[in-house]
């Protein structure tokens, strides 16, 4: 791996130069960066995938949906369609992307849209909403969000990271300066104060930035095919066999959670946003049937099951115990109230909403 990184390093230098020049073009107003009157919150990261953007986006929605008409706007990574597209609960991941479909399934009353051109997407959503949340848009400089949240995965930020393609950074760490606040995600629920201090020193926030810490909180196992069927994780016993189907950037936190209940885990691991084929699922079914006994489950993630919702795949697994494990982000105490207040203050005091909340 080290040799491969060294071989790719010259390409990283070239990539880094291109990114620096592009950002400089936006910073010097050579390239246009559009700012909107409507409040716009961007959620993103510097590294490729796996920082917990979806749980954080859902956290913001849960925090604000009672008081504001919200729209989530995403690029819709991996979709086969182009242009602006509103997501509905019957949409397919091939048409809208897995994460936007997940958002719509979780918040059916919410407007969720995809558009590779975020400026055009915001124009479409502007009049009917009071807040737009941009999912994975930190590098989308054509839009200048009113409030930018930058995420770092606690489990990977301490490692020395290079720029693409020899590493996984989309841009140099200096780019963190554009963020209004930084969140260190996927920490343990009982993160020690010393670990916090070390991480703050490692990130070295700028004076205008506040760092918060978050962790993942897992829910109950949800049936893939039957929306009203759920089970506590405690149903998993030490003797339970688990087939884990994942196509996400970093499945390690999920694996660690499941290992609290059973060590008998066989993982079918694929790249992030992988489009599951018939062959993939046939292998899954064959491996499930070869497991001994009857105490066995197929478990996946909430994002992955969005890519299982095709007639051909459902037919193959309709008689099997397929579940997914929902997850949500939580901000560490005692800082949660401060974080919530910062977000609410931005949206409420923004010019587009000032009149609404003044009366």
What are the pLDDT digits (tens) for 277-297?
999 999 999 999 999 999 999
Q: Do residue 232 and residue 154 come from a single domain?
A: no
Instruction: Pull the structure tokens for residue 269.
Output: 């691991």
Residue 20 lies in a domain: no
DSSP 295-350: -EEEEEEHHHHGGG-SHHHHHHHTTS-EEEE-EEEEEPTTSHHHHHHHHHHHHHHS
Instruction: Pull the structure tokens for residue 352.
Output: 């587009």
What pLDDT is recorded for position 315? 97
What pLDDT is recorded for position 359? 46
Region 20-41 average pLDDT: 96
Q: Do residue 232 and residue 96 come from a single domain?
A: no
Instruction: Break the chain down into helix, strand, coil percent, rounded to 5.
Output: 40, 25, 40
- Mean pLDDT, the chain, as a whole number? 94
Region 247-257 average pLDDT: 94
What pLDDT is recorded for position 197? 95
Dihedral in degrees, nearest 10, Cα atoms 263, 266, 268, 272: 10
Q: What is the distance between the alpha carbons of residues 222 and 302, in angstroms, rounded to a whole number? A: 9
Instruction: Pull the structure tokens for residue 130.
Output: 């009071």
Domain coverage including residue 132: 26-217+330-358
What pLDDT is recorded for position 326? 97
Q: What's 153's domain CATH number?
A: 3.40.50.300
Residue 21 lies in a domain: no
Q: How confident is the model at residue 1 (pLDDT cuts 50, 70, 90)?
A: low
Q: Answer whether 345's CB lies under 8 Å from 31's CB.
A: no
Q: How confident is the model at residue 65 (pLDDT cuts 50, 70, 90)?
A: very high
- Number of domains composing the chain: 2
Q: Do residue 198 and residue 263 come from a single domain?
A: no
Query: Quick check: 314 pLDDT over 50?
Result: yes
Half-sphere exposure of 25 (CA within 13 A, CB side): 11
Residue 115 lies in a domain: yes
What pLDDT is recorded for position 49? 75
Is the torsion defined by CA of 204, 210, 215, 219 positive or negative?
negative
Residue 19 lies in a domain: no
Closest CA to 299 of 249, 258, 250: 258
Q: What is the distance between the alpha carbons of residues 251 and 199, in angstroms, rounded to a whole number? A: 22
What pLDDT is recorded for position 352? 59
Q: Do residue 123 and residue 245 come from a single domain?
A: no
Region 14-40 average pLDDT: 96
Instruction: Please confirm whether the linkage preceding 71 is cis (ω < 30° from 0).
Output: no
Region 255-261 average pLDDT: 97
Q: Do residue 250 and residue 279 come from a single domain?
A: yes
What pLDDT is recorded for position 101? 98
Q: How confident is the model at residue 356 (pLDDT cuts 50, 70, 90)?
A: low
What pLDDT is recorded for position 8? 86
Q: How confident is the model at residue 211 (pLDDT cuts 50, 70, 90)?
A: very high
Q: What's 241's domain CATH number?
A: 3.40.640.10
Query: Quick check: 331 pLDDT over 50?
Result: yes
Residue 253 lies in a domain: yes
Q: Do residue 104 and residue 248 come from a single domain?
A: no
What pLDDT is recorded for position 161? 75
Instruction: Pull the structure tokens for residue 225.
Output: 């095919």
Q: What is the distance between the alpha carbons of residues 132 and 145, in angstroms, rounded to a whole number? A: 10
Q: Do residue 304 and residue 171 come from a single domain?
A: no
Percentage of the chain with pLDDT > 70?
Answer: 97
Q: What is the distance between the alpha carbons of residues 29 and 21, in angstroms, rounded to a whole number? A: 12
Provide the phi-psi class of 216: left if phi over 0, else alpha when psi is between -120 and 50, else beta.
Answer: beta
Percentage of the chain with pLDDT > 90?
Answer: 88
What pLDDT is recorded for position 38? 95
Provide the phi-psi class of 78: left if phi over 0, else alpha when psi is between -120 and 50, else beta.
Answer: left
Query: Quick check: 243 pLDDT over 60?
Result: yes
State the residue for tokens 């946003």: 273
Query: Quick check: 355 pLDDT over 90?
Result: no
CB contact set of 210 (below 8 Å; sequence gap of 6+): 181, 182, 338, 342
Query: Quick check: 156 pLDDT over 50?
Result: yes
Q: Answer whether 154's CB lies under 8 Å from 186's CB.
A: yes
**How many other C-beta atoms can be found within 10 angstroms of the C-beta atom of residue 253?**
20
Query: Quick check: 138 pLDDT over 80?
Result: yes
State the residue for tokens 């459902």: 314
Q: Do residue 160 and residue 235 come from a single domain?
A: no
Q: Do residue 154 and residue 277 come from a single domain?
A: no
Q: Do residue 40 and residue 152 come from a single domain?
A: yes
Q: Do residue 234 and residue 183 come from a single domain?
A: no
Give backbone dihedrals phi and psi of 188, rounded to 5 degrees, phi first.
Answer: -75, 150
Residue 106 lies in a domain: yes
Residue 312 lies in a domain: yes
Q: What is the distance between the alpha carbons of residues 114 and 130, in angstroms, rounded to a whole number? A: 18
Query: Quick check: 106 pLDDT over 70?
Result: yes
3-state secondary structure of 46: coil
Instruction: Pull the structure tokens for residue 106.
Output: 């979780």
Q: What is the distance between the alpha carbons of residues 47 and 157, in angstroms, rounded to a whole number? A: 9
Q: Answer whether 106's CB lies under 8 Å from 60's CB.
A: no
Q: How confident is the model at residue 351 (pLDDT cuts 50, 70, 90)?
A: low
Residue 275 lies in a domain: yes
Q: Do residue 336 and residue 318 come from a single domain?
A: no
Helices and strands, counts by H and E, the chain: 12, 15
Query: Quick check: 341 pLDDT over 50?
Result: yes
């Amino acid at each position: 791996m080290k040799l491969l990184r060294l071989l790719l390093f010259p390409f990283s230098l070239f990539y880094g130069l291109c990114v620096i020049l592009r950002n400089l073009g936006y910073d010097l107003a050579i390239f246009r960066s559009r700012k909107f009157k409507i409040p716009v919150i961007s959620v993103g990261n510097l590294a490729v995938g796996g920082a917990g953007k979806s749980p954080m986006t859902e956290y913001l929605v849960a925090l604000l949906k009672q008081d504001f008409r919200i729209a989530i706007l995403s690029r819709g990574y991996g979709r086969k369609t182009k242009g602006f597209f509103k997501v509905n609960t019957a949409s397919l991941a091939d048409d809208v992307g897995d994460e936007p479909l997940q958002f719509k399934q979780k918040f059916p009353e919410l407007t969720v849209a995809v558009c590779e051109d975020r400026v055009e997407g915001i124009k479409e959503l502007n009049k009917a909403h009071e807040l737009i949340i941009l999912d994975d848009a930190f590098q989308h400089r054509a839009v200048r969000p009113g409030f930018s949240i930058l995420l770092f995965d606690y489990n990977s930020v301490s490692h020395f990271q290079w720029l693409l393609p020899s590493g996984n950074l989309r841009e140099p760490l200096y780019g963190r300066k554009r963020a209004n606040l930084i969140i260190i995600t996927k920490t343990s629920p009982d993160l020690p104060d010393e670990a916090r201090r070390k991480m703050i020193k490692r990130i070295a926030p700028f004076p205008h930035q506040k760092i918060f810490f978050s962790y993942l909180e897992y829910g109950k196992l949800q049936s893939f095919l039957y929306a009203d069927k759920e089970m506590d994780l405690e149903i998993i016993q030490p003797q339970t066999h688990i087939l884990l189907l994942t196509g996400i950037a970093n499945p390690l936190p999920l694996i660690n959670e499941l290992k609290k209940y059973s060590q008998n885990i066989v993982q079918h691991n694929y790249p992030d946003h992988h489009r599951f084929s018939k062959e993939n699922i046939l292998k899954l079914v064959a491996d499930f049937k070869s497991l001994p006994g009857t105490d066995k489950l197929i478990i996946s993630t909430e994002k992955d099951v969005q890519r299982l919702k095709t007639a051909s795949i459902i037919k193959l697994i309709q008689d099997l115990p397929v579940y997914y494990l929902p997850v949500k982000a939580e901000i560490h105490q005692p800082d949660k109230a401060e974080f919530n207040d910062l977000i609410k203050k931005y949206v409420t005091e923004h010019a587009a909403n000032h009149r609404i909340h003044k009366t």
